[in-house]
Structure 1
Amino acid sequence: MLVQFMTAVGVLAVLTMVPGPDMAVVTKRAVSAGWQDGLRTVGGITLGLLVWGVLTVAGLAAVLAASAAVYTVVKLAGAAYLVFLGVQALLQSRRDRSRAPAAPLAPPAGNPWRTGLVSNVFNPKIAVFYTGLLPTLAPSGLSPHAGMALLVLVHTSLTAVWLGGYVMLLSRARAFFERPAVRRTMDRVTGAVLIGFGLKVATAQP
Protein backbone atom coordinates (compact mmCIF):
# COMPACT_ATOMS: atom_id res chain seq x y z
CA MET A 1 0.00 0.00 0.00
CA LEU A 2 2.81 2.42 0.88
CA VAL A 3 4.54 1.82 -2.45
CA GLN A 4 1.26 2.44 -4.30
CA PHE A 5 0.70 5.63 -2.35
CA MET A 6 4.20 6.98 -2.99
CA THR A 7 3.85 6.16 -6.68
CA ALA A 8 0.55 8.05 -6.77
CA VAL A 9 2.16 11.04 -5.03
CA GLY A 10 4.99 11.04 -7.58
CA VAL A 11 2.57 10.96 -10.53
CA LEU A 12 0.42 13.74 -9.05
CA ALA A 13 3.51 15.86 -8.30
CA VAL A 14 4.69 15.65 -11.90
CA LEU A 15 1.22 16.49 -13.24
CA THR A 16 0.94 19.41 -10.79
CA MET A 17 4.21 20.95 -12.00
CA VAL A 18 3.24 20.85 -15.68
CA PRO A 19 2.44 24.49 -16.69
CA GLY A 20 -1.22 25.10 -17.44
CA PRO A 21 -4.02 27.65 -17.07
CA ASP A 22 -3.61 27.77 -13.27
CA MET A 23 0.00 28.92 -13.55
CA ALA A 24 -0.91 31.53 -16.15
CA VAL A 25 -3.71 32.92 -13.95
CA VAL A 26 -1.45 32.97 -10.89
CA THR A 27 1.35 34.68 -12.83
CA LYS A 28 -0.98 37.43 -13.98
CA ARG A 29 -2.28 38.14 -10.46
CA ALA A 30 1.07 37.87 -8.68
CA VAL A 31 2.98 40.06 -11.13
CA SER A 32 0.22 42.66 -11.40
CA ALA A 33 -0.92 42.94 -7.78
CA GLY A 34 1.73 41.30 -5.59
CA TRP A 35 2.24 38.08 -3.67
CA GLN A 36 -0.84 38.56 -1.46
CA ASP A 37 -3.13 38.55 -4.47
CA GLY A 38 -1.14 35.68 -5.92
CA LEU A 39 -1.61 33.56 -2.81
CA ARG A 40 -5.32 34.39 -2.68
CA THR A 41 -5.59 33.22 -6.28
CA VAL A 42 -3.83 29.99 -5.30
CA GLY A 43 -6.36 29.64 -2.48
CA GLY A 44 -9.22 29.97 -4.96
CA ILE A 45 -7.62 27.39 -7.25
CA THR A 46 -7.19 24.99 -4.35
CA LEU A 47 -10.79 25.50 -3.30
CA GLY A 48 -11.89 24.76 -6.87
CA LEU A 49 -9.96 21.47 -6.77
CA LEU A 50 -11.64 20.59 -3.48
CA VAL A 51 -15.06 21.26 -5.05
CA TRP A 52 -14.24 18.84 -7.86
CA GLY A 53 -12.84 16.41 -5.30
CA VAL A 54 -16.08 16.40 -3.32
CA LEU A 55 -18.10 15.95 -6.51
CA THR A 56 -15.83 13.11 -7.59
CA VAL A 57 -16.10 11.23 -4.29
CA ALA A 58 -19.87 11.77 -4.41
CA GLY A 59 -19.96 10.36 -7.95
CA LEU A 60 -21.32 13.52 -9.57
CA ALA A 61 -18.17 14.29 -11.54
CA ALA A 62 -18.47 10.91 -13.26
CA VAL A 63 -21.88 11.97 -14.53
CA LEU A 64 -20.40 15.14 -16.01
CA ALA A 65 -17.51 13.23 -17.56
CA ALA A 66 -19.95 10.78 -19.15
CA SER A 67 -22.43 13.39 -20.42
CA ALA A 68 -21.30 15.04 -23.65
CA ALA A 69 -23.90 17.81 -23.37
CA VAL A 70 -23.04 18.78 -19.78
CA TYR A 71 -19.33 18.49 -20.48
CA THR A 72 -19.65 20.83 -23.46
CA VAL A 73 -21.55 23.46 -21.46
CA VAL A 74 -18.98 23.49 -18.64
CA LYS A 75 -16.10 23.35 -21.13
CA LEU A 76 -17.32 26.37 -23.10
CA ALA A 77 -18.01 28.34 -19.92
CA GLY A 78 -14.48 27.65 -18.69
CA ALA A 79 -12.96 28.46 -22.08
CA ALA A 80 -14.88 31.75 -22.25
CA TYR A 81 -13.62 32.72 -18.79
CA LEU A 82 -9.98 32.02 -19.70
CA VAL A 83 -10.35 34.02 -22.92
CA PHE A 84 -11.95 36.85 -20.91
CA LEU A 85 -8.96 36.91 -18.53
CA GLY A 86 -6.59 36.89 -21.50
CA VAL A 87 -8.34 39.78 -23.24
CA GLN A 88 -8.39 41.66 -19.94
CA ALA A 89 -4.60 41.26 -19.67
CA LEU A 90 -4.06 42.46 -23.25
CA LEU A 91 -6.24 45.51 -22.66
CA GLN A 92 -4.34 46.21 -19.44
CA SER A 93 -1.06 46.24 -21.39
CA ARG A 94 -2.50 48.85 -23.77
CA ARG A 95 -3.71 51.02 -20.89
CA ASP A 96 -0.30 50.78 -19.21
CA ARG A 97 1.39 51.88 -22.43
CA SER A 98 -0.68 55.07 -22.59
CA ARG A 99 -0.10 55.85 -18.91
CA ALA A 100 2.53 58.39 -17.86
CA PRO A 101 5.78 56.72 -16.73
CA ALA A 102 5.45 58.04 -13.19
CA ALA A 103 1.81 57.05 -12.79
CA PRO A 104 1.10 53.96 -10.67
CA LEU A 105 0.01 50.84 -12.51
CA ALA A 106 -3.49 49.70 -11.67
CA PRO A 107 -3.92 46.17 -10.27
CA PRO A 108 -6.15 43.76 -12.20
CA ALA A 109 -9.87 43.95 -11.56
CA GLY A 110 -11.79 41.19 -9.84
CA ASN A 111 -11.46 39.25 -6.60
CA PRO A 112 -8.40 36.95 -6.72
CA TRP A 113 -10.18 34.20 -4.77
CA ARG A 114 -13.01 34.23 -7.29
CA THR A 115 -10.60 34.31 -10.22
CA GLY A 116 -8.84 31.16 -9.03
CA LEU A 117 -12.06 29.41 -8.03
CA VAL A 118 -13.96 30.08 -11.26
CA SER A 119 -11.00 29.14 -13.47
CA ASN A 120 -10.98 25.69 -11.82
CA VAL A 121 -14.67 25.04 -11.25
CA PHE A 122 -15.31 25.59 -14.97
CA ASN A 123 -12.49 23.29 -16.04
CA PRO A 124 -14.15 19.95 -16.88
CA LYS A 125 -10.75 18.39 -17.53
CA ILE A 126 -10.36 18.16 -13.74
CA ALA A 127 -13.51 16.04 -13.57
CA VAL A 128 -12.13 13.75 -16.28
CA PHE A 129 -8.74 13.68 -14.52
CA TYR A 130 -10.25 12.82 -11.15
CA THR A 131 -12.68 10.20 -12.43
CA GLY A 132 -10.34 8.71 -15.04
CA LEU A 133 -6.87 8.74 -13.46
CA LEU A 134 -7.29 8.87 -9.69
CA PRO A 135 -9.11 5.52 -9.42
CA THR A 136 -6.10 3.84 -11.06
CA LEU A 137 -3.75 5.43 -8.51
CA ALA A 138 -5.82 4.83 -5.35
CA PRO A 139 -4.09 2.49 -2.84
CA SER A 140 -5.72 -0.93 -2.88
CA GLY A 141 -5.67 -1.17 0.91
CA LEU A 142 -8.34 1.54 1.25
CA SER A 143 -11.97 1.64 0.23
CA PRO A 144 -12.57 3.34 -3.15
CA HIS A 145 -14.09 6.43 -1.53
CA ALA A 146 -11.32 6.73 1.08
CA GLY A 147 -8.59 6.21 -1.54
CA MET A 148 -10.06 8.86 -3.83
CA ALA A 149 -10.52 11.32 -0.98
CA LEU A 150 -6.91 10.81 0.11
CA LEU A 151 -5.54 11.43 -3.39
CA VAL A 152 -7.72 14.53 -3.84
CA LEU A 153 -6.26 15.95 -0.61
CA VAL A 154 -2.74 15.07 -1.81
CA HIS A 155 -3.34 16.77 -5.16
CA THR A 156 -4.77 19.95 -3.63
CA SER A 157 -1.90 20.10 -1.13
CA LEU A 158 0.71 19.67 -3.86
CA THR A 159 -1.01 22.35 -5.94
CA ALA A 160 -1.10 24.81 -3.03
CA VAL A 161 2.58 24.23 -2.18
CA TRP A 162 3.80 24.35 -5.79
CA LEU A 163 1.85 27.43 -6.85
CA GLY A 164 2.40 29.13 -3.49
CA GLY A 165 6.16 28.64 -3.84
CA TYR A 166 5.96 29.93 -7.41
CA VAL A 167 4.19 33.08 -6.18
CA MET A 168 6.86 33.72 -3.55
CA LEU A 169 9.57 33.24 -6.18
CA LEU A 170 7.88 35.82 -8.39
CA SER A 171 7.61 38.21 -5.43
CA ARG A 172 11.39 38.16 -4.97
CA ALA A 173 11.72 39.59 -8.47
CA ARG A 174 8.82 42.02 -8.05
CA ALA A 175 10.99 45.09 -8.65
CA PHE A 176 11.93 43.72 -12.07
CA PHE A 177 8.35 42.85 -12.98
CA GLU A 178 7.11 46.29 -11.85
CA ARG A 179 9.06 48.02 -14.62
CA PRO A 180 6.44 49.34 -17.06
CA ALA A 181 8.01 47.76 -20.15
CA VAL A 182 8.41 44.39 -18.43
CA ARG A 183 4.91 44.50 -17.04
CA ARG A 184 3.41 45.30 -20.43
CA THR A 185 5.32 42.38 -21.92
CA MET A 186 4.14 40.05 -19.14
CA ASP A 187 0.53 41.17 -19.63
CA ARG A 188 0.79 40.47 -23.35
CA VAL A 189 2.43 37.08 -22.83
CA THR A 190 0.03 35.91 -20.10
CA GLY A 191 -2.91 37.32 -22.07
CA ALA A 192 -1.90 35.38 -25.16
CA VAL A 193 -1.26 32.23 -23.08
CA LEU A 194 -4.65 32.47 -21.36
CA ILE A 195 -6.44 32.96 -24.67
CA GLY A 196 -4.50 30.00 -26.06
CA PHE A 197 -5.50 27.81 -23.14
CA GLY A 198 -9.08 29.00 -23.51
CA LEU A 199 -9.15 27.96 -27.16
CA LYS A 200 -7.50 24.65 -26.25
CA VAL A 201 -10.15 23.98 -23.61
CA ALA A 202 -12.93 24.93 -26.04
CA THR A 203 -11.73 22.43 -28.65
CA ALA A 204 -10.80 19.65 -26.21
CA GLN A 205 -12.59 16.32 -26.30
CA PRO A 206 -13.76 14.48 -23.15
Structure 2
Amino acid sequence: MFDNLAQYGVEFLTIAGIHLLAVASPGPDFAVVLKHSVSFGRRAAILTSIGVGLAILLHVAYSLLGIGILIQNTPGMFQILSYAAAAYLLYIGWGALNSKPRQPSDLNVAQLSKQTISDKKAFWTGFLTNGLNPKATLFFLSVFAVVVSAQTPNSIKLLYGIYLALATGLWFCALSYCLSSTRVREFLSSKGYWFDRVMGAVLILLAIKLALPE
Protein backbone atom coordinates (compact mmCIF):
# COMPACT_ATOMS: atom_id res chain seq x y z
CA MET A 1 0.00 0.00 0.00
CA PHE A 2 2.76 2.45 0.97
CA ASP A 3 4.63 1.74 -2.29
CA ASN A 4 1.72 3.25 -4.19
CA LEU A 5 1.40 6.45 -2.16
CA ALA A 6 3.39 8.50 -4.69
CA GLN A 7 0.67 8.24 -7.33
CA TYR A 8 -1.79 9.88 -4.93
CA GLY A 9 0.52 12.82 -4.19
CA VAL A 10 -1.41 15.39 -6.23
CA GLU A 11 -4.70 14.23 -4.75
CA PHE A 12 -3.28 14.49 -1.23
CA LEU A 13 -1.82 17.97 -1.80
CA THR A 14 -5.16 19.16 -3.16
CA ILE A 15 -6.97 17.85 -0.08
CA ALA A 16 -4.36 19.34 2.24
CA GLY A 17 -4.66 22.75 0.56
CA ILE A 18 -8.45 22.80 0.73
CA HIS A 19 -8.36 21.66 4.35
CA LEU A 20 -5.86 24.40 5.29
CA LEU A 21 -8.23 27.06 3.98
CA ALA A 22 -11.22 25.45 5.69
CA VAL A 23 -9.63 24.95 9.12
CA ALA A 24 -8.21 28.49 9.18
CA SER A 25 -11.63 30.02 8.51
CA PRO A 26 -13.45 31.24 11.66
CA GLY A 27 -16.35 28.99 12.62
CA PRO A 28 -17.85 27.12 15.59
CA ASP A 29 -14.63 25.16 16.25
CA PHE A 30 -12.55 28.32 16.32
CA ALA A 31 -15.03 30.15 18.55
CA VAL A 32 -15.22 27.34 21.12
CA VAL A 33 -11.44 26.80 21.27
CA LEU A 34 -10.91 30.55 21.59
CA LYS A 35 -13.45 30.82 24.40
CA HIS A 36 -11.98 27.88 26.33
CA SER A 37 -8.44 29.24 25.89
CA VAL A 38 -9.35 32.50 27.60
CA SER A 39 -11.93 31.27 30.10
CA PHE A 40 -10.36 28.01 31.28
CA GLY A 41 -6.74 27.99 30.18
CA ARG A 42 -4.39 25.91 28.08
CA ARG A 43 -5.26 22.40 29.29
CA ALA A 44 -8.99 22.81 28.65
CA ALA A 45 -8.39 24.42 25.26
CA ILE A 46 -6.02 21.66 24.14
CA LEU A 47 -8.48 18.96 25.23
CA THR A 48 -11.19 20.81 23.32
CA SER A 49 -8.88 20.88 20.29
CA ILE A 50 -8.25 17.14 20.56
CA GLY A 51 -12.01 16.60 20.62
CA VAL A 52 -12.37 18.68 17.45
CA GLY A 53 -9.61 16.69 15.76
CA LEU A 54 -11.03 13.28 16.68
CA ALA A 55 -14.48 14.32 15.47
CA ILE A 56 -12.94 14.55 12.00
CA LEU A 57 -12.63 10.75 12.06
CA LEU A 58 -16.42 10.56 12.51
CA HIS A 59 -16.94 12.47 9.26
CA VAL A 60 -14.32 10.31 7.53
CA ALA A 61 -16.00 7.12 8.75
CA TYR A 62 -19.46 7.88 7.40
CA SER A 63 -17.98 9.23 4.17
CA LEU A 64 -16.15 5.94 3.58
CA LEU A 65 -19.21 3.91 4.55
CA GLY A 66 -21.45 5.87 2.19
CA ILE A 67 -23.64 7.11 5.03
CA GLY A 68 -22.72 10.67 4.11
CA ILE A 69 -24.39 10.26 0.72
CA LEU A 70 -27.54 9.06 2.48
CA ILE A 71 -27.50 12.13 4.75
CA GLN A 72 -26.94 14.44 1.80
CA ASN A 73 -29.75 12.91 -0.25
CA THR A 74 -32.23 12.79 2.62
CA PRO A 75 -33.29 16.41 3.29
CA GLY A 76 -35.14 15.53 6.47
CA MET A 77 -32.12 13.77 7.98
CA PHE A 78 -29.80 16.62 7.05
CA GLN A 79 -32.24 19.15 8.50
CA ILE A 80 -32.40 17.24 11.78
CA LEU A 81 -28.61 17.29 11.93
CA SER A 82 -28.64 21.05 11.28
CA TYR A 83 -31.20 21.65 14.05
CA ALA A 84 -29.23 19.49 16.51
CA ALA A 85 -26.05 21.44 15.78
CA ALA A 86 -27.92 24.76 16.04
CA ALA A 87 -29.43 23.78 19.41
CA TYR A 88 -26.03 22.81 20.78
CA LEU A 89 -24.42 26.07 19.63
CA LEU A 90 -27.34 28.02 21.09
CA TYR A 91 -26.81 26.29 24.44
CA ILE A 92 -23.10 27.19 24.52
CA GLY A 93 -23.71 30.69 23.14
CA TRP A 94 -26.48 31.53 25.60
CA GLY A 95 -24.26 30.61 28.55
CA ALA A 96 -21.47 32.83 27.22
CA LEU A 97 -23.87 35.67 26.43
CA ASN A 98 -24.93 35.77 30.10
CA SER A 99 -21.36 36.11 31.34
CA LYS A 100 -21.05 38.48 34.33
CA PRO A 101 -18.36 41.12 34.92
CA ARG A 102 -15.42 40.00 37.04
CA GLN A 103 -14.14 41.87 40.03
CA PRO A 104 -10.81 43.71 39.55
CA SER A 105 -9.11 41.26 41.91
CA ASP A 106 -10.15 38.37 39.66
CA LEU A 107 -8.36 39.59 36.53
CA ASN A 108 -4.94 38.08 37.17
CA VAL A 109 -4.00 34.72 35.71
CA ALA A 110 -3.92 33.02 39.11
CA GLN A 111 -7.54 33.94 39.68
CA LEU A 112 -8.54 33.12 36.10
CA SER A 113 -7.04 29.66 36.51
CA LYS A 114 -9.55 28.96 39.29
CA GLN A 115 -12.28 28.89 36.64
CA THR A 116 -12.47 25.24 35.75
CA ILE A 117 -14.10 22.89 33.34
CA SER A 118 -13.70 19.13 33.59
CA ASP A 119 -11.39 17.40 31.11
CA LYS A 120 -14.29 15.28 29.94
CA LYS A 121 -16.55 18.27 29.30
CA ALA A 122 -13.81 20.19 27.49
CA PHE A 123 -13.14 17.22 25.21
CA TRP A 124 -16.80 16.51 24.45
CA THR A 125 -17.52 20.18 23.80
CA GLY A 126 -14.92 20.14 21.03
CA PHE A 127 -16.02 16.75 19.71
CA LEU A 128 -19.72 17.62 19.56
CA THR A 129 -19.13 21.10 18.15
CA ASN A 130 -17.34 19.63 15.14
CA GLY A 131 -19.18 16.32 14.96
CA LEU A 132 -22.64 17.92 14.80
CA ASN A 133 -21.62 20.65 12.36
CA PRO A 134 -23.40 20.01 9.02
CA LYS A 135 -20.93 22.34 7.31
CA ALA A 136 -18.21 19.84 8.20
CA THR A 137 -20.45 17.11 6.77
CA LEU A 138 -20.73 18.98 3.48
CA PHE A 139 -16.97 19.61 3.42
CA PHE A 140 -16.12 15.92 3.70
CA LEU A 141 -18.81 14.89 1.25
CA SER A 142 -17.37 17.37 -1.24
CA VAL A 143 -13.79 16.24 -0.67
CA PHE A 144 -14.51 12.53 -0.97
CA ALA A 145 -16.94 12.94 -3.86
CA VAL A 146 -15.16 15.56 -5.97
CA VAL A 147 -11.46 15.64 -5.11
CA VAL A 148 -10.85 11.98 -4.31
CA SER A 149 -11.03 9.63 -7.27
CA ALA A 150 -13.53 6.78 -7.20
CA GLN A 151 -10.60 4.46 -7.93
CA THR A 152 -8.70 5.53 -4.81
CA PRO A 153 -8.65 2.57 -2.37
CA ASN A 154 -10.40 2.98 0.95
CA SER A 155 -7.07 2.35 2.68
CA ILE A 156 -5.66 5.50 1.04
CA LYS A 157 -8.82 7.46 1.85
CA LEU A 158 -8.43 6.39 5.46
CA LEU A 159 -4.87 7.77 5.47
CA TYR A 160 -6.24 11.04 4.10
CA GLY A 161 -8.75 11.08 6.94
CA ILE A 162 -6.12 10.39 9.59
CA TYR A 163 -4.04 13.26 8.20
CA LEU A 164 -7.05 15.61 8.29
CA ALA A 165 -7.80 14.66 11.90
CA LEU A 166 -4.17 15.15 12.98
CA ALA A 167 -3.80 18.42 11.08
CA THR A 168 -7.02 19.80 12.55
CA GLY A 169 -6.11 18.78 16.09
CA LEU A 170 -2.57 20.18 15.81
CA TRP A 171 -3.83 23.45 14.32
CA PHE A 172 -6.23 24.07 17.20
CA CYS A 173 -3.71 22.87 19.80
CA ALA A 174 -1.22 25.44 18.47
CA LEU A 175 -3.95 28.07 18.56
CA SER A 176 -4.79 27.06 22.13
CA TYR A 177 -1.16 27.33 23.17
CA CYS A 178 -0.84 30.87 21.79
CA LEU A 179 -4.18 32.16 23.07
CA SER A 180 -3.73 30.74 26.57
CA SER A 181 -0.36 32.40 27.19
CA THR A 182 -0.23 34.59 30.29
CA ARG A 183 -0.12 37.92 28.48
CA VAL A 184 -2.83 37.08 25.98
CA ARG A 185 -5.17 35.73 28.66
CA GLU A 186 -4.65 38.78 30.87
CA PHE A 187 -5.23 41.13 27.94
CA LEU A 188 -8.38 39.38 26.73
CA SER A 189 -9.68 38.83 30.24
CA SER A 190 -9.40 42.48 31.25
CA LYS A 191 -12.74 42.80 29.52
CA GLY A 192 -13.50 39.12 29.84
CA TYR A 193 -17.26 39.31 30.19
CA TRP A 194 -17.50 41.40 27.01
CA PHE A 195 -15.30 38.88 25.27
CA ASP A 196 -17.55 36.04 26.44
CA ARG A 197 -20.64 37.92 25.30
CA VAL A 198 -19.16 38.56 21.85
CA MET A 199 -18.24 34.89 21.48
CA GLY A 200 -21.73 33.96 22.69
CA ALA A 201 -23.30 36.24 20.09
CA VAL A 202 -21.08 34.71 17.38
CA LEU A 203 -22.12 31.19 18.37
CA ILE A 204 -25.80 32.17 18.42
CA LEU A 205 -25.50 33.76 14.96
CA LEU A 206 -23.81 30.60 13.68
CA ALA A 207 -26.65 28.56 15.21
CA ILE A 208 -29.27 30.73 13.48
CA LYS A 209 -27.42 30.38 10.19
CA LEU A 210 -27.41 26.60 10.56
CA ALA A 211 -31.11 26.46 11.41
CA LEU A 212 -32.30 28.68 8.57
CA PRO A 213 -32.68 27.19 5.09
CA GLU A 214 -30.08 28.20 2.53
159, 162, 165: which one pairs with 2:171? 162
Aligned-partner Cα distance in 2 for 1:154–1:107: 33
92, 102, 105: which one pairs with 2:105? 102
Q: CA RMSD in A?
A: 2.0
Aligned-partner Cα distance in 2 for 1:19–1:29: 15
Contact kept? 1:39, 1:167, Cα under 8 Å:
yes
Q: How many Å apart are 1:154 and its aligned residue? A: 2.2
Structure 1 gap segments, 5+ residues each? none
Q: How many Å apart are 1:9 and its aligned residue? A: 1.3
Aligned-partner Cα distance in 2 for 1:38–1:186: 16
The share of aligned pairs that are identical, in percent, is: 28
Give 3-state SS (helix, strand or coil) of 2:104's partner: coil
Contact kept? 1:30, 1:170, Cα under 8 Å:
yes
Aligned-partner Cα distance in 2 for 1:30–1:165: 11
For 2:36, the equivalent position in structure 1 comes to 29
Contact kept? 2:89, 2:204, Cα under 8 Å:
yes
107, 117, 134: which one pairs with 1:124? 134
170, 175, 185: which one pairs with 2:186? 175
Aligned-partner Cα distance in 2 for 1:125–1:146: 25
Name the TM-score, length of structure 1 as normaliser: 0.86
Alignment of 1:4-83 (within 5 A): 4-83=11-90
Alignment of 1:180-191 (within 5 A): 181=191, 183-191=192-200
Alignment: residue pair count: 198
Q: How many Å apart are 1:140 and its aligned residue? A: 7.2
Structure 2 gap segments, 5+ residues each? 1-6
Aligned-partner Cα distance in 1 for 2:91–2:46: 21
Aligned-partner Cα distance in 1 for 2:116–2:89: 14
Q: How many Å apart are 1:118 and its aligned residue? A: 1.3
Contact kept? 1:13, 1:155, Cα under 8 Å:
no
Deviating 4+ runs (over 6 angstroms):
none
Aligned-partner Cα distance in 1 for 2:186–2:133: 33
Aligned-partner Cα distance in 1 for 2:160–2:144: 7
Aligned-partner Cα distance in 2 for 1:133–1:26: 24
Q: Does 1:137 align with 2:144?
A: no
Q: How many Å apart are 1:127 and its aligned residue? A: 2.0
Contact kept? 1:65, 1:124, Cα under 8 Å:
no
1:72-129 CA deviation, whole Å, 9 max, x = no partner?
111101001111111110112xx2x2x5332545637671111111112211222222
Aligned-partner Cα distance in 2 for 1:191–1:10: 30
